[in-house]
Structure 1
Amino acid sequence: MSELTTDDVHYYPAFLQALLEDHSDDATVAALLRQPAFAVYRNTVFKGCVDALAANYPAVQRLVGSDWMHAAALAYARDHLPRQASLIAYGEGFAAFLAALPAADELPYLPGVATLDRCWTEAHLAADQPMVESTALQSALVAGQDVCLVPHAATRWHHDAQHPVTTIWSANRTDPAIDPGDIDWQGEAALFTRPQAEVQWQAISHGACRFLDACREGQPVTQAAALALAQEPDLDVAALLGRLLLAGAFTAFTFN
């Protein structure tokens, strides 16, 4: 690969300024900007970003409508141009962007819903891995060995302490519309896995999320269980572990 020249170092920032701000202080780029084709190119770039965000955040779009989503997505794209040619994973920071967006202040659950949309995308695109060998794991646990569970590459989870994001997300992504009056307005969490090449999701508790957090941090099962119980004293850890294994949440285990 050839090295950047002095002209390149000055040209690329000027070109980016023209793309983002529709003007340039560089004479060469300013001349390019006056050509009708550049406007077409500029519009195409941002339309691609907006369309990708709408596709990657369908629950958010359904909640806010196409016009609102277009405006928010365009504002995001101006500050977060794609880093890859493919836009299938575009929008990594969109949930955080919405959390700081004044126009979203009246929808405090929106960043959480966006996070669940992102979890689905990441689970869908994650690397293939086998599921943990449950028989070997059970044998190790029965023998009293403390093991560390390794989350599968496709496993994602999110807990919102204040808002029923799982219910809202599912109602705007997969389930029929529900009456807002039927929603229990309290914190919720969700788990995303991909056990059979297809993303699956389920509602889980805060204690379950704490268990998964501890596993991701490399904590052994006994410590993960203790942290989960501290968060949720009534949690049935054995039932939780069985549920997580059935969902394909782990790829392996190591001995502590």
Structure 2
Amino acid sequence: MSMSLGRFQDAFVDALEGVEPAAFDEADGLIATLTSQPGFAVYRNTVTKGCVDALRANFPTVERLVGAEWFTAAAAHYVRSSPPVRAQLIEYGVDFADFLQAFEPARELPYLAGVARLDRLWIEAFSAAEQAPLILDAFAAQAPETLAELHLRPCAATRWQWFALPVFTIWRCNREELDVPQPLIWQGEGGLMCRLAGRVVWQPLGAGGCAFLDACAARCRLDEASTLALQAQPDLDFNDLLARLFEAGVFAAEPSDLTSNGGD
């Protein structure tokens, strides 16, 4: 019997995932022989458990909210529909939040998908490329007449998102093993994450802060970005926002960030 290694591997993975072959060939015949062995079911369960454990490691706040049993059942559903495509399991679960958003048993937990998104943002901030942060002294040393035209670029490890529900408060309290405030104010809020000195740090972010970072990521000038921030949140203390962002190491220290780039 002759077949390519790639064809055999593809058929083996399909068998692990319970995918029926579209057309039977010699590879499928060999795989059928293998899958009929009692040990194959054990191997399949081991693979599934490894994927579930990877999700458990990548989404610890979700598990803390719903409990180990509920999480394991939901994760097993996800694994069957979305097996890993990369060897690095820290990347597994990119669309787990979308899965939870549509998962019927999670319907009564409208904040759960948002919590999963924050867990995912933590992973992205943790594993992003290293970049030196722009320090406040370097920013403040710029001539006043050029500040408005500066472009502040969020560093690779900076992540932020706005939610229509108090998702960040729920996430932070469970991540830090604190009691959720009672009563919890059900209003929109944002969250910010950045890696600083080798660890991921987080803080709440208002509508103005999210709008400001969105504008910075879109390469808006500082005056344009600040205007958009104040439009989104008229009572925003912009100086306080900037101070907090610099303290968290949000912006990348690149030569172009400290020069006027009004033409690009």
Q: TM-score with structure 1 length normalisation?
A: 0.90
What SS class does the counterpart of residue 162 from structure 2 fall into?
Answer: strand
Q: Is residue 255 of structure 1 aligned with residue 249 of structure 2?
A: no
Q: Is the 8 A contact 2:169 2:180 kept in 1?
A: no
Deviation at 1:22, TM superposition (A): 7.0
What is the Cα deviation at residue 214 of structure 1? 1.0
Q: Give yes or no for contact 1:23–1:30 (8 Å, CA) kept in 2.
A: no
C-alpha spacing 1:235/1:251, structure 2 compared with 1 (3 Å) = same
Q: Name the structure 2 match of 1:33.
A: 35
- In structure 2, the partner of 1:196 is 197
Bigger shift: residues 10-19 or 241-250? 10-19
How far apart, in 2, do the equivalents of 1:225 and 1:154 lie? 22
Alignment-derived partner of residue 159 in structure 2: 156
Q: Which residue of 1 aligns with 2:188?
A: 187
Displacement of 1:141 in angstroms is 5.7
Which amino acid is the alignment partner of residue 199 of structure 2?
A: E
Distance in 2 between residues matched to 1:148 and 1:77, nearest whole Å: 42
Q: 1:19 aligns to what?
A: 16
Q: CA deviation at 1:140?
A: 2.5
Partner of 1:90: 92
Q: Displacement, 1:175?
A: 3.3
**d(CA) in 2 for partners of 1:29 and 1:239?**
63
Specify the alignment match of 1:99 in structure 2. Answer: 101
CA RMSD in angstroms comes to 2.0
Q: Match for residue 73 of structure 1?
A: 75
Contact 2:61 2:175 in 1 (8 A): yes
Q: Is the 8 A contact 2:61 2:116 kept in 1?
A: yes
Residue 165 of structure 1 is matched in structure 2 by 167
Secondary structure at 2:130's aligned position in 1?
coil
How much has 1:178 moved relative to structure 2? Answer: 2.9
TM-score by length of 2: 0.88
Q: Distance in 2 between matches of 1:238 and 1:197?
A: 26
In structure 1, what is the equivalent of residue 57 of structure 2? 55
Partner SS state of residue 191, structure 2: strand
- Maintained 8 Å contact 1:23/1:33: no
Number of aligned pairs? 250
Opposite residue 18 of structure 1, the aligned amino acid is A
Q: 1:175 aligns with which of 174, 177, 182?
A: 177
Change (3 A) 1:51 1:141: farther
Range moving further from structure 2, 5-14 or 130-139 = 5-14
Does the 8 A contact of 2:126 with 2:199 survive in 1? yes
Identity across aligned pairs (percent)? Answer: 47
* Pair 172,27 (structure 1): closer, same or farther in 2 beyond 3 Å: same
Deviation per residue, 1:24-72 (Å, 9 max, x gap): 6522111111123322221121111101111111111011111111111
Cα pair 1:211 1:224 within 8 Å, conserved: yes
| CA contact 2:54–2:92 (8 Å) conserved in 1 | yes
Offset, 1:84: 2.4
Structure 1's consecutive aligned runs of 4 or more residues displaced over 6 angstroms after TM superposition are: none
